[in-house]
Structure 1
């Protein structure tokens, strides 16, 4: 994938560690993602649907390809356009192989152009910020139970125990054009970010996440968060990205692919991902 450079001497960017674990129950990893100095993203193939690893790997590939090919672009516009293009790729994937009907994925992505930073959210993978020791959930679950909580019909405790908590109201799929929730973030150097699949957020309390995310080493925090989720009985794939926000001289925008994204055979058509003229 193409990379880009910056014309300014110091820009907002990320220093990161990431890991995706198949977990204790699943036979394969349907999570995928990418972590780089300007983009962090996690995609979680929707459980119970066909080809979740195709949906997640393709979506994370499209978003990361766009971010690398278009450094400095308005992050809100790029994340919105890339989410729609990922949907188009899944439409093509279903047309090429009808066994993929129903494949879908979540997407949580944070992109900075060095000045502005945006969060795009589809589904229920989460993004958190740790600032001065205080944990804030940046994303908002697009789920049936979260909508019921928002409407005052159930409590957070009831939502956590609901058998319907994994029913997402939106996903990146091959049928419906997603409308991601995209918003600008107020980040500052010294913030620490966590992106994760629900294999982690379903089983760890905010207090546990806050404590482990606060470990000095990003790599150690990543390792301990994944281990804590598995030790707490997570029955899903567990994917974690831990990133520190820094203001530093520009670097080349490459990064780390993880989960189902390691295998390009899971991407519908890498060659079809061309530069976005409208981004």
Structure 2
């Protein structure tokens, strides 16, 4: 059975006053969410989406991961929308979301926004996701070079996110070609904006996933830490079925940040 063994870290950074990132790590699901909106409650958006996705995946372990990701995305959007309806001061809040799920036989990636997923194999790092940003759109249209893309002042303008819009175009969903011994990395742009892929690949040589995640987060802090930084490092392993509730990181650790439609229905 394919599953994950890993860990992660979420740090407020050296500039921001609060952490708007959330992450979750468990044997069959892991995710990173980066709240968008600042004063419009980015931490509420990321924690709410992370909770909805984790809960959906844990309840449906072993089911088709494509279907699980689609249902989890819908649940995340419903809960974010409820959070806005409860407090219109949150109007505009949204979150990125990058999630991997295994049913034991395959691994599927869901992605929206500008958090990222990478595959580290045989000391080489490859980006698995495409940023949903204005700058990436300009790059694909040939209006920016790769170097200009990485330094453009609008590089963090996100075009797609979990924002509660019932007409959302949804996530990019990809079946990953992974094998035992591969290492997956999920991160917010607090890492990818500040640390080169070459340096990331070097830090991922650490044997333990937690040590690797700490090294990557520290690299972002040493590069200025101008944003929250969240990193999840997962080793793809093959073994017997295991259980566990998982590791909560960042804003989702505070239950006051979570809006849950199911809890409202039961009240």
Of 17, 21, 30, the residue aligned with 2:11 is 21
Q: Is the 8 A contact 1:102 1:174 kept in 2?
A: no
Paired position in structure 1 for 2:222 = 231
Q: Is the 8 A contact 1:194 1:213 kept in 2?
A: no
Distance 1:216 1:78 in 2: 31
SS, match of residue 19 in structure 1: strand
TM-score, normalised with respect to structure 1: 0.91
Q: Is the 8 A contact 2:116 2:186 kept in 1?
A: yes
User: Which string of whole-angstrom CA distances, capped at 9 and with x for unpartnered residues, describes residues 13-53 of structure 1?
Assistant: 00001110011111111000100101110000015450100
Q: Are positions 1:159 and 2:160 aligned together? A: no
Runs of 5+ in structure 2 lacking a partner?
none
Structure-to-structure mapping, 1:1-279, within 5 angstroms: 11-48=1-38, 50-175=40-165, 177-178=167-168, 179-269=170-260, 271-272=262-263
Distance 2:58 2:229 in 1: 25
Distance 1:253 1:148 in 2: 43
SS, match of residue 173 in structure 1: coil
Distance 1:190 1:54 in 2: 35
Q: Is the 8 A contact 1:50 1:103 kept in 2?
A: yes
User: Which string of whole-angstrom CA distances, capped at 9 and with x for unpartnered residues, describes residues 251-277 of structure 1?
Assistant: 014210110000111011264499xxx
CA RMSD of aligned residues (A): 1.4
Q: Is the 8 A contact 2:3 2:238 kept in 1?
A: yes
User: Which string of whole-angstrom CA distances, capped at 9 and with x for unpartnered residues, describes residues 100-124 of structure 1?
Assistant: 1111000000001011211011100
SS, match of residue 109 in structure 1: strand
Q: Is the 8 A contact 2:46 2:251 kept in 1?
A: yes
Report how far residue 94 of structure 1 moved. Answer: 1.1
Distance 2:177 2:39 in 1: 35
TM-score, normalised with respect to structure 2: 0.95
Q: Is the 8 A contact 1:65 1:273 kept in 2?
A: no
Distance 1:263 1:186 in 2: 35
Q: Is the 8 A contact 1:68 1:253 kept in 2?
A: no
User: Which string of whole-angstrom CA distances, capped at 9 and with x for unpartnered residues, describes residues 67-113 of structure 1?
Assistant: 10011111111111111211111111111111111110000000010
> Could you say if the C-alpha distance between residues 262 and 21 of structure 1 is closer, same or farther in structure 2, counting changes exceeding 3 Å?
same
User: Which string of whole-angstrom CA distances, capped at 9 and with x for unpartnered residues, describes residues 197-237 of structure 1?
Assistant: 00000000110010001212212111111111000012110
Runs of 5+ in structure 1 lacking a partner?
1-10, 275-279
SS, match of residue 136 in structure 1: strand
Q: Is the 8 A contact 1:49 1:102 kept in 2?
A: no
Report how far residue 176 of structure 1 moved. Answer: 5.4
Alignment: residue pair count: 264
